[in-house]
Amino acid sequence: MSERVYIFDTTLRDGEQSPGASMNQQEKRRLARQLDRLGVDVIEAGFPASSEGDFESVQIISSVVEHSQVAALSRCSVPDIDRAWAAIKDAAHPRIHVFLATSDIHMEYKLKMSREQVLQAVQESVARAAASTRNVEFSAEDASRSNREFLGTVVQTAIEAGATTVNIPDTVGYTQPQEFAALITYLKKNVPNIEQAVISVHCHNDLGMGVANTIAALDAGARQAEVTLNGIGERAGNAALEEVIMALKVREDIHGLSTNIDILQIYPACRLLSMITGQPIPPYKAIVGGNAFAHEAGIHQHGMLQNRQTYEIMTPESIGRPASEMVLGKHSGRHACRQRLEQLGYRLDAEQMDLVFNAVKKLADIKKQIFVEDLEALVLEEVFRIPDKYKLLYLSSLSGNMAIPTATLKMVVDGREEQLSEFGVGPIDAVFNGICKIVDKSPELLHFSITSITGGTDAQGEVTVKLENAGRTAVGRGSDPDIIVASAKAYINALNRLAKREEEKAKA
């Protein structure tokens, strides 16, 4: 019989701290609902004392989450703790999460506090939080670089003061699996009241060890894992939820641990986060990357045809994604297209189906094989896009080492056709300059990324941009086999989103 591990998801707090991953309140609410559906035990919704916006988001999430506990982060200070409680008090299952650093380097240089002062702050803060709720978590920030005996005393103090979960973070991603497992074993042996709390771990990925350290700690007796979707988080990110869950699931034979996660919801959750933040999932990303279930080598394909288990340790369907094999080609019909879309979870009406099917046909003229990811990109572009104020009609671009990069564009702006040519440092710069001139706006480009949706040189390029104009930001996406066209589409998509926000603001 497997022992239960609690999953604490911090995508909306630690994850959101990572550059380019900020979400608005509506997006956070959508993601929180999906996390609830996924079955995480705790959703860390934010850090209410950090800003008014964060406070409101945590309140909103508290009101929509039905099953998961909702945690609010707090420093060891009375106003922070009271603010955290105010934000979550109406949640079905609220949790206050207090933290304070315990390593010598953090105490000396950051906190400027002695060990005695830290112990006192932990005792007082946990007790303050425990006066509001019995569900209190304490985190010893930079625990993995802290003096072991002192860390043990801090953990003991936190539990005495009322902490029901004690978190041991590897804040800077420094530890290694054996060392981290030994730390958990040490705490289990040497902290007299340790059985009164759940030991949690929170591993960053600076040395690429986040998941390995988390699993090693669970094997050593930790029973809560703090994770994020797609592994997003500060610097190199946190341990990825999907990797920790599937490692426990696929190798339950050696770990003997289970979770409450509905693994069919993993892929939809990871895709949703990627759509919201506009940060594409890298193709080689374990579990949810585009290539994670692609079998390229002939010998592998042969094995797969005989028995999938020759090269597949889990099935894509088990995590809620359809098999990443060729789905459609030039001769595929509308019925096959609809069937594939339904397997992906998209139920389209006849008009939406027409749009997508026509786009599939157009793409199949350029690209021989259309994969699941291509299909999803087309659905996003054709069905879920913001009604267009700006539309691209024509784009031609000139570049090379003996040419001045030039873009010639024709666009529709509010029903009017406009065209011009513009120069730039490179072809994409020329396109963006041209679009800005046509729409008479000069937003700041905060983020630009380009990725190949599937493999091969005929793959579609997927471009994501983030623009800021007059204090508002918007993410735009575009895909096309031509990366210059994909860039233009993404830029125009972001401009349309910004225009939509301005419109909503004007109406309000």
Could you give phi then psi for residue 276, rounded to 5 degrees? Answer: -65, -50
Indicate the DSSP class of residue 109.
Answer: I
Using CB under 6 A, pick the residue from 9, 11, 14, 476 that binds ligand KIV.
Answer: 14
Residue 208 or 345: the one with the smaller Cβ distance to Zn ion is 208
Binding segment toward ligand KIV, per CB under 6 A, in 155-163, 165-173, 206-214, 309-317 = 165-173
Residue of 141, 242, 374, 376 interacting with ligand KIV (CB under 6 A): 141
In the complex, least distance from residue 129 CB atom to ligand KIV, rounded to whole angstroms:
14
Query: Which residues neighbour 380 within 8 Å (Cβ) at sequence distance 6 or greater?
Result: 275, 477, 479
Tokens of 410: 């024709």
Under the binding rule (CB under 6 A), the answer on residue 16 touching ligand KIV is no
Q: What is the 3-state secondary structure (H, E, C) of 116-140?
A: HHHHHHHHHHHHHHHHHCCCEEEEE
CB of 49 to Zn ion, least distance (A): 17
Interaction between residue 99 and ligand KIV (CB under 6 A): yes
Give the Cα separation of 485 and 29 in Å (integer). 33
- DSSP 8-state assignment for residue 20: T
Q: Which is nearer to ligand KIV, 203 or 407 (CB)?
A: 203
Min CB(171)–ligand KIV separation in Å: 4
User: Would you tell me how many other CB atoms lie within 10 Å of the CB of residue 249?
Assistant: 18
Instruction: Give 14 or 462: the residue with its C-beta nearer to Zn ion.
Output: 14
314-353 footprint of ligand KIV as x/- string (CB under 6 A) = ----------------------------------------
Tell me the site size for Zn ion, rule CB under 5 A: 1
Angle at 507 (CA atoms; ends 506, 508), nearest 5 degrees: 95
Residue 480 binds Zn ion (CB under 5 A) = no
Q: Which is nearer to ligand KIV, 15 or 476 (CB)?
A: 15
Is residue 382 part of the contact set for Zn ion (CB under 5 A)? no
| Beta carbon nearer to Zn ion, 16 or 382 | 16
Q: State yes or no: residue 374 binds Zn ion (CB under 5 A).
A: no
HSE value, Cβ hemisphere, 13 Å, CA-based, for 441: 18
Q: How far is the CB of 404 from ligand KIV (least distance, A)?
A: 48
Among residues 162, 169, 316, 461, which is the contact residue for ligand KIV, using CB under 6 A? 169
Cα gap 144→148, rounded to integer Å: 9
Residue 491 in contact with ligand KIV, rule: CB under 6 A: no
Q: What is the DSSP letter of 287?
A: T
What burial letters (b/e) apply to 352-369, b meaning 16+ CB within 10 Å? bbeebbebbeebbeebeb
Segment interacting with ligand KIV, rule: CB under 6 A, options 20-28, 164-172, 210-218, 311-319: 164-172
202 binds ligand KIV (CB under 6 A): yes
SS3 label, residue 406: strand
CB neighbour list of residue 93: distance below 8 Å, 6 or more residues apart: 68, 69, 70, 135
Touching ligand KIV, residues 171-190 (CB under 6 A)? 171
- Please say whether the beta carbons of 227 and 38 come within 8 A: no
- How far apart are CB 102 and ligand KIV at their closest, in Å? 10
Within 8 A by CB and 6+ apart from 438, the residues are 390, 409, 411, 413, 418, 419, 420
The nearer residue to ligand KIV, 99 or 267, going by C-beta atoms, is: 99
Of 73 and 372, the one with the shorter C-beta distance to ligand KIV is 73
Task: Identify what 139 binds: Zn ion, ligand KIV, none; CB under 5 to 8 Å per kind.
Answer: ligand KIV
Give the residue carrying structure tokens 């028995």. 307
> Binding partner of residue 99 among Zn ion, ligand KIV, none, CB under 5 to 8 Å per kind?
ligand KIV
CA angle 173, 175, 177 (to 5 degrees): 115
Indicate whether 487 belongs to the interface with ligand KIV (CB under 6 A): no
Whole-angstrom Cα distance, residue 277 to residue 501? 17
| Residues in region 10-29 near Zn ion by CB under 5 A | 14
* Nearer CB in complex with ligand KIV: 171/397: 171
Q: How far apart are the first and last CA of the chain?
A: 56
Report the nearest approach of Zn ion to the CB of residue 490 (Å): 30
Site pattern 199..228 for Zn ion (x: CB under 5 A) = ------------------------------
Q: Based on the shown chain and the rule CB under 6 A, indicate whether residue 41 belongs to the binding site for ligand KIV.
A: no
Q: How large is the greatest C-alpha to C-alpha distance in the chain, in angstroms?
A: 75
Using CA atoms, how far residue 316 sits from 72, 267, 271, in Å, is: 34, 9, 14
* CB 442, CB 270: distance < 8 Å: no
Using the minimum distance from each CB to ligand KIV, give the nearer residue, 95 or 204: 204
**Contact positions vs ligand KIV (CB under 6 A):** 14, 99, 139, 141, 167, 169, 171, 202, 204
**Residues of the shown chain interacting with Zn ion in the complex, contacts defined by CB under 5 A:** 14
